[in-house]
Structure 1
Amino acid sequence: MSKNITHGYHLVKGRSHHAMEDYVVADFKQVDDNELGLFAIFDGHLSHVIPDYLKNHLFENILNEPDFWTEPEKAIKRAYRVTDTTILDQAVDFGKGGSTAVTAILINCQKLVVANVGDSRAVICKNGKAKQLSIDHEPSMEREEIESRGGFVSKFPGDVSRVDGQLAVARAFGDKSLKEHLSSEPDVTVEMIDDDTQFIILASDGLWKVMSNQEATDAIQNIKDARSAAKHLTEEALNRKSSDDISIVVVRF
């Protein structure tokens, strides 16, 4: 089935002085009689250890959930929780910091299950129209939940809302020092793949800070090669002065 589907990715390190903290997965895997497309972006902050750990373990944990095939949404939420608990338990080895995640699992090329924590984003394009499949977890949007856990949201210093004045996302893996005020519960969306489906873009916020969903889909509408499409989007983000790490996965139907 997957031979009609192409995928590719491209990463560019941002202008900061730390090492690249984005990691991607783009892979097809046979599980018994089922074919799974596994795609993800993990955008680390103050850490490349945690996104690297997610790259190597999160999908494995999801697929090990016994009810993955019958209740994928429930299984994914549990696997995210289990994975975050493991990261927090090993915080001494992993150090501080954390990571956002957006994962997309394509089941038998028919059903797409997207989950995310943080501000990396999944967008699907059908008949030229962009549709966002994930939710950006911004502190200002989740102020009530953060405050109910004893935390606060502040824009000082700077102009970006941050949890406890530190972290610019309201949900993430890791971040042990903030975890009382921070969730790692993913939002999960299911989308059916039909004849109108053209492609999916997964990207870290290095792209979305400078391009809207529709601008991103318009930019690669006519680029048939998935990897070239991903590269084109990173170049476009750089042209628009994105200074963050940028990582992009494109899956074309």
Structure 2
Amino acid sequence: MHEVIAEEWNQEANDGFKWQQRWEGVMSSGFERTDNEVITEAAAPEIVGSTAVTVVLSRCQIIASNCGDSRAVLCRGTETIPLTVDQKPDREDELLRIEEQDGKVINWNGARVFGVLAMSRAIGDRYLRPWIIPVPEISFTTRTDEDECLIIASDGLWDVMSNNEVGELARRILRRRRRYAAAGEVTAAQTVADSLTEIAVGRNSSDNISVIVVDLKSKKKQRNT
């Protein structure tokens, strides 16, 4: 996905667009291209799909793009800020979109499109078109000096931990590890990711668990802590 997004950025003509509009075009075309490549390269049959969440980090912006129910959150000071909103079939706007195309959302161990899929957007899952679409939602967040870390994870984590629980644990571990970290040790961010994964497994999460943690504090600030 990151290679596709980078290629789309290089191919996207500026055409006088504002930078936000350009990123929206890049993310949308990148997700669509990835969805098409899943089929053309026979990477998966039509009944297989995946969520996708991407984050582009610049010196001043955090650009998050989400399709499905994976999630990205930002730890800023004492706050845990969601950068994405899960695309669930019973979310009011998603339910309306599905029903307007003669689709149905059935409650079967939670809201599911035709009683099958528990998300309303995804890469792949072609057998549920046009109700399941690979169109991402994109958010822009201006960075601040209070930003601690980014946490990007699949729903195996979020099914058993709230945003606030994840944020509190991340802040606690990061600050402790930054203060006492020795050369050659596992990074503070990796320690957070490992700890979150272990907790999700310990809580018997029934879905896949992928966790990426990005430490947003500069090395200079870490040395001064």
Aligned AA for 2:204? Answer: K
Q: Find the counterpart in structure 1 of residue 210 from structure 2.
A: 247
Give the structure with the higher percent helix.
2
2:198 is aligned, of 226, 230, 235, to 235
Q: Find the counterpart in structure 1 of residue 117 from structure 2.
A: 167
Alignment of 1:27-46 (within 5 A): none
> Does residue 58 in structure 1 map to residue 4 in structure 2?
yes
CA RMSD of aligned residues (A): 1.9
- For normalisation by structure 2, the TM-score amounts to 0.80
Give the structure with the higher percent strand.
1
Aligned AA for 1:196? Answer: E
- Write the distance in 2 (CA, Å) between the matches of 1:99 and 1:179: 14
Higher relative contact order (CA 8 A, sep 6+): 1
- Write the distance in 2 (CA, Å) between the matches of 1:79 and 1:227: 28
Q: Find the counterpart in structure 1 of residue 97 from structure 2.
A: 145
- Write the distance in 1 (CA, Å) between the matches of 2:209 and 2:6: 25
Structure whose CA Rg is larger: 2
Q: Find the counterpart in structure 2 of residue 178 from structure 1.
A: 128
Q: Find the counterpart in structure 1 of residue 152 from structure 2.
A: 202
Residue 124 of structure 1 deviates from its aligned partner by 0.1
Aligned AA for 2:49? Answer: G
- Write the distance in 2 (CA, Å) between the matches of 1:76 and 1:139: 22
Residue 76 of structure 1 deviates from its aligned partner by 1.1
Aligned AA for 1:195? Answer: D
Aligned AA for 1:242? Answer: S
Residue 179 of structure 1 deviates from its aligned partner by 1.6
Cα distance 1:154–1:246, how it changes in 2: closer, same or farther (>3 A)? same
* 1:117–1:187 CA contact under 8 A, matched in 2: yes
Identity of aligned residues (%): 34
Q: Deviations over 1:89-125 (max 9, x none)?
A: x275531311110000012x32111000000000001
| More displaced stretch, 211-220 vs 142-151 | 142-151
Residue 61 of structure 1 deviates from its aligned partner by 4.1
> Does residue 103 in structure 1 map to residue 54 in structure 2?
yes
Aligned residues: 195
Q: Find the counterpart in structure 2 of residue 19 from structure 1.
A: none
| Structure 1 unaligned spans of 5+ | 1-53
- Write the distance in 2 (CA, Å) between the matches of 1:93 and 1:117: 19
- Write the distance in 1 (CA, Å) between the matches of 2:43 and 2:122: 18
> Does residue 82 in structure 1 map to residue 33 in structure 2?
yes
- Write the distance in 1 (CA, Å) between the matches of 2:105 and 2:41: 24
Cα distance 1:67–1:191, how it changes in 2: closer, same or farther (>3 A)? farther
> Does residue 73 in structure 1 map to residue 24 in structure 2?
yes
Query: Aligned to 2:197, what secondary structure does the other structure show?
Result: helix
Q: Deviations over 1:157-205 (max 9, x none)?
A: xx21111211111000111111221121111001111101011100100
* 1:101–1:118 CA contact under 8 A, matched in 2: yes
